[in-house]
Structure 1
Amino acid sequence: MSELNQHSLAALGELADEPVEQTGPMSNFVYVDISSIDRETKKITDPKPLTLSQAPSRAKQILRAGDVLVSMTRPNLNAVALVPEQLDGAIGSTGFHVLRSRWLHPEFLLRLVQSQRFVDEMSGLVQGALYPAVRPKDIAAFTFAFETPAQQTRIVAKLEELLSDLDAGVAELKAAQKKLAQYRQSLLKAAVEGALTAEWRQQHPPTEAGAQLLQRILTERRARWEAKQLAKFQQQGKTPPKDWQKKYPEPVQPDTTNLPELPQGWVWASVEQIASDERYSLSIGPFGSNLKVSDYRDAGVPLVFVRNIRSGNYGGEHTKYVTQEKAVALAAHSVAAGDVLVTKMGEPPGDADVYPDDQPPAVITADCIKIRCWPGLVKPEFLKAVINSHIGKRQIEPMTQGVAQKKVSLGRFISLAVPIPPADEQVLIVQKLIAADREAAEQLAAINLSLKQSTAQRQNILRAAFAGQLVPQDPNDEPASVLLARIRAERAVTPKPRGRKVKERN
């Protein structure tokens, strides 16, 4: 508050015009609610044309061009916007506090409610846990250094100049972010279809083609199953029954419909075929009854959530744990270094990561899938690349089911087709992907740092603007304190308009 001019200190409420009409729509209308606002650009980007019969109960406020809308819900997200000319007469949600004042330039007001001081003060006044919000009187009580209309115009012009340059820089940074994401997908496509190593492949004929590698593993898988069965018969003192080998559970074949043709030496395999024959090498997270929030501890065996897989970050201060005894009970859902983890729910499901070597054994939670690969058949990092590529996404999309949230079952996921290159080619592909990822991560970190600095610079500019430090005062202007005193005197003798009460529609 020390930065503010105490002589011209005003509250938003004392400069507001008459209450906003709350009659709601009388015919088909355009509706503006909180979801209509782009929080990044602070603009109304998604107004919704509705019929009168579709009017939500919150569709009450008649908006005028120049109104500034401030979302009262979750003020920390700062969903604010200026009503443009083309939306004059639109209907606004009662979730907005509408700021309208003949004494405040609309753009000046819009920038004021974007300032960090406004966001911080409103965030400190929220009430409610499930639906945190501020009240209209909280917004109306926000104080700031009042400026004359002429000075406001000069401040707005300077802000437009400075912030336009800043916005242009941010747009370039975000375009670079998008290009990096596109590059990553292009690289994955080239890797899993063989284009990334096409030249190398011509000069290095495989000693064991993908088909031979797969067949060798499948043969070994069956032989190990038969050995276990024979050992079981012997332990039980039984003679193996006739045709007992026919009971071997063949892993599901891959469905390669509409998938690209593979390079020579590669072969398609299903997730089930490439998984280890160890017990629980393919599993999903435990059902809610087996792992509850009450089981969480502050130390012990760490839990892995969907958020960990998506971010690639494990451990840290927000990690939840279970006791060693509980981890033993959840052994079917255990995770070790090198396991491939996949999100089975989300928008969309199917993000994959490899559990890192530097993390201790853990337990996956609900909505996660674990794949432990057969050693020597497919490298975990290559499987991760396949699932995250267009080949994986194309197959997972039709597997999803569920109305509220898309999800993929383990029963469907095991049939997902995975291209298998020769072992030495897999090694090279993974090396190239890791190197490219490292370079992209460095670029992304630099971009994120620049975006963070841009956000800080924006707030520095706004802070200077509303502390009277951005634009010099014109000595020919009437002092803001004198104008403010006159406005207060005028309002003191003018009866306060009363809002029109309207009966709710049934």
Structure 2
Amino acid sequence: MKKNWQIKTLDEVCKIIMGQSPPSDTYNENAIGMPFFQGKAEFTDLYPIARKYCNKPKKIAEPFDILLSVRAPVGTTNIANQQCCIGRGLAALRFENYKYGFYFLRSIQYELDSKGTGTTFRAISGETIRETLIPYPCIETQQAIVSKIEELFSELDKGIEDLKTAQQQLKTYRQSVLKWAFEGKLTNDNVKDGELPKSWEIMKFGEVVNNYDGKRRPLSRDVRAKRQGKFRYYGATEIVDYIDDFLFDGKYLLIGEDGANLVSKSRPLAFLVEGKFWVNNHAHIVQTKELLNIDFLSYYFNSLNLAEYVTGTAQPKLNQANMNKIPIPIPKIEEQNEIVLELERRLSVADKMEESIAHSLLQAESLRQSILKKAFSGELV
């Protein structure tokens, strides 16, 4: 710590207002009264978004107060951009230089979280907040620190934005490669848009697979808890448990039957499973018939938009009858194998790039914390 800096408690340098929830009959969602923030649920990166209002607030935060989450999760911060009511999940801290206070609290977020107590909900008390120590230079130095942090964060944010743009470009590239593959453009020259190579044929999904849905068997969580073992137990999109027995042995394609994933495609719609395993009734299970590469079918299925085959809105579902109607473009087995190899080559490169970007994004967040740590130990100015 620099010699001309002081160490003070938060209670000495800012006004601390602990939140208090007003009676529930004073809440509304019709913008009557003052914006009401209960906790981190309303937070964004900087400013909270009002979803509820209160016409009889108990505790009020003013514009530029720092809103601190004091109940699980502890330590998260936002800046009040308007006068607002705060519930017991928040505290408001009013600094002379609000940005200095904001960046300091962000620098100790995990330290504050470690001080949380309680079994049901971790929380920190007003006393803990008041006794928290803060390095406190003169106001001019505080402003210089804020300016340096924002300069470095601006550069960092630009890098993060570029990385996220690259992530989106890779997603677009993946979709394009899959589209080209099943239009025949990866393995044939001069294929016209909207047409398939002459050697390809269109068949229905139900014509090219053997379906084993009748052998699926769900087990309740309680039963699974009593039958823990080494065999994988699959649900719609992933392993959900390990049990002491198996239903299937071999290489199969599992296709999620229900859930929002069918529409959002946040996870692969279909995934290959090999070896001994169990499947509940949330995933269709199939094997390909002769002269159809199961990896080819898996890639194709994950390229699809299933909107027209999925029924239901509250709980979207792909039933077996609709799944069997899905058209499959099929080349000769040799070309299928060639397409699979080309997809694996191209998509593996994309996978490595995505891993590198994800690692860089993690490093960027670590660098952000490093900048804050240096700022409040006097190393930036």
What is the TM-score of this pair, normalised by structure 2?
Answer: 0.80
Q: Does the 8 Å CA contact 2:59/2:87 hold for their aligned counterparts? A: yes
CA RMSD after TM alignment: 3.6
Q: Does the 8 Å CA contact 2:253/2:294 hold for their aligned counterparts? A: yes
Residues 261-317 of structure 1 deviation map (CA, whole Å, 9 limit, x = unaligned): 75544444443322226xx2x3686434387441352x42123355647xxxxxxxx
2:210 partner letter: S
Residues 352-411 of structure 1 deviation map (CA, whole Å, 9 limit, x = unaligned): 343355xx422234633322222323x22222223222x343345x4244x3xx342543
1:147 partner letter: P
What is aligned with 2:10? Answer: 12
1:445 has 2:355 as partner = yes
What is aligned with 2:340? Answer: 430
What is aligned with 2:77? Answer: 80
What is aligned with 1:382? Answer: 296
Quote the Cα distance in structure 1 between the aligned partners of 2:85 and 2:215: 47
What is aligned with 2:279? Answer: 364
Quote the Cα distance in structure 1 between the aligned partners of 2:331 and 2:35: 59
1:289 has 2:199 as partner = no
RCO higher in structure (CA 8 A, sep ≥6): 1
- Give the structure with the larger helix fraction: 1
1:347 has 2:260 as partner = yes
Q: Relative to 1, partners in 2 of residues 1:92 and 1:189: Cα closer, same or farther, differing over 3 Å?
A: farther
Quote the Cα distance in structure 1 between the aligned partners of 2:331 and 2:359: 40
Residues 481-506 of structure 1 deviation map (CA, whole Å, 9 limit, x = unaligned): xxxxxxxxxxxxxxxxxxxxxxxxxx
- Identity among equivalent positions (%) equals 21
Quote the Cα distance in structure 2 between the aligned partners of 1:294 and 1:98: 45
Quote the Cα distance in structure 1 between the aligned partners of 2:76 and 2:296: 41
Q: 2:100 aligns with which of 78, 97, 108?
A: 108
Q: Relative to 1, partners in 2 of residues 1:20 and 1:72: Cα closer, same or farther, differing over 3 Å?
A: closer
- Give the structure with the larger strand fraction: 2
Q: 1:43 aligns with which of 46, 62, 85?
A: 46
Quote the Cα distance in structure 1 between the aligned partners of 2:125 and 2:218: 41
Residues 449-471 of structure 1 deviation map (CA, whole Å, 9 limit, x = unaligned): 21122122111111111122222
Q: 1:151 aligns with which of 128, 141, 163?
A: 141
Q: Does the 8 Å CA contact 1:272/1:414 hold for their aligned counterparts? A: yes
What is aligned with 1:300? Answer: 230
Q: Does the 8 Å CA contact 2:16/2:93 hold for their aligned counterparts? A: no
1:414 partner letter: M
Quote the Cα distance in structure 2 between the aligned partners of 1:367 and 1:375: 26
Residues 164-217 of structure 1 deviation map (CA, whole Å, 9 limit, x = unaligned): 111111111111111111111222222233344441779xxxxxxxxxxxxxxx
Q: 1:273 aligns with which of 207, 220, 238?
A: 207
Quote the Cα distance in structure 2 between the aligned partners of 1:268 and 1:435: 26
Q: Relative to 1, partners in 2 of residues 1:19 and 1:31: Cα closer, same or farther, differing over 3 Å?
A: closer
Q: Relative to 1, partners in 2 of residues 1:354 and 1:307: Cα closer, same or farther, differing over 3 Å?
A: closer
Q: Relative to 1, partners in 2 of residues 1:70 and 1:45: Cα closer, same or farther, differing over 3 Å?
A: closer
Using the TM superposition, give the Cα deviation of residue 21 of structure 1 relative to its aligned residue in structure 2, in angstroms.
8.1
Quote the Cα distance in structure 1 between the aligned partners of 2:363 and 2:178: 31
Quote the Cα distance in structure 2 between the aligned partners of 1:453 and 1:429: 36
1:82 partner letter: I
Q: Relative to 1, partners in 2 of residues 1:160 and 1:183: Cα closer, same or farther, differing over 3 Å?
A: same
Q: Does the 8 Å CA contact 2:76/2:109 hold for their aligned counterparts? A: no
1:322 has 2:228 as partner = no
Q: Relative to 1, partners in 2 of residues 1:292 and 1:109: Cα closer, same or farther, differing over 3 Å?
A: farther
Using the TM superposition, give the Cα deviation of residue 441 of structure 1 relative to its aligned residue in structure 2, in angstroms.
1.0
Q: Does the 8 Å CA contact 1:283/1:410 hold for their aligned counterparts? A: no
- Bigger Cα Rg: 1
Q: 2:61 aligns with which of 52, 60, 63?
A: 63
SS of the residue 2:345 aligns to? helix
Q: Does the 8 Å CA contact 2:17/2:59 hold for their aligned counterparts? A: no
What is aligned with 1:221? Answer: none
Residues 333-364 of structure 1 deviation map (CA, whole Å, 9 limit, x = unaligned): x3633x2223334433363343355xx42223
1:435 partner letter: R
Quote the Cα distance in structure 2 between the aligned partners of 1:366 and 1:97: 47
1:27 has 2:18 as partner = no
Quote the Cα distance in structure 2 between the aligned partners of 1:137 and 1:91: 21
Q: Does the 8 Å CA contact 2:33/2:55 hold for their aligned counterparts? A: no
1:80 partner letter: T
What is the TM-score of this pair, normalised by structure 1?
Answer: 0.62
1:64 partner letter: E
Residues 234-271 of structure 1 deviation map (CA, whole Å, 9 limit, x = unaligned): xxxxxxxxxxxxxxxxxxxxxxxxxx775544444443
Quote the Cα distance in structure 1 between the aligned partners of 2:305 and 2:146: 50
Using the TM superposition, give the Cα deviation of residue 30 of structure 1 relative to its aligned residue in structure 2, in angstroms.
4.2
1:125 has 2:123 as partner = no
Q: Does the 8 Å CA contact 2:253/2:286 hold for their aligned counterparts? A: yes
Superposition pairs for residues 222-233 of structure 1, below 5 Å?
A: none
Using the TM superposition, give the Cα deviation of residue 416 of structure 1 relative to its aligned residue in structure 2, in angstroms.
4.8
1:301 partner letter: F
Q: Does the 8 Å CA contact 1:155/1:465 hold for their aligned counterparts? A: yes
Structure 2 unaligned regions, length at least 5: none
Superposition pairs for residues 453-492 of structure 1, below 5 Å?
A: 453-471=363-381
Using the TM superposition, give the Cα deviation of residue 137 of structure 1 relative to its aligned residue in structure 2, in angstroms.
4.2
Superposition pairs for residues 89-108 of structure 1, below 5 Å?
A: 89-102=83-96, 105-108=97-100
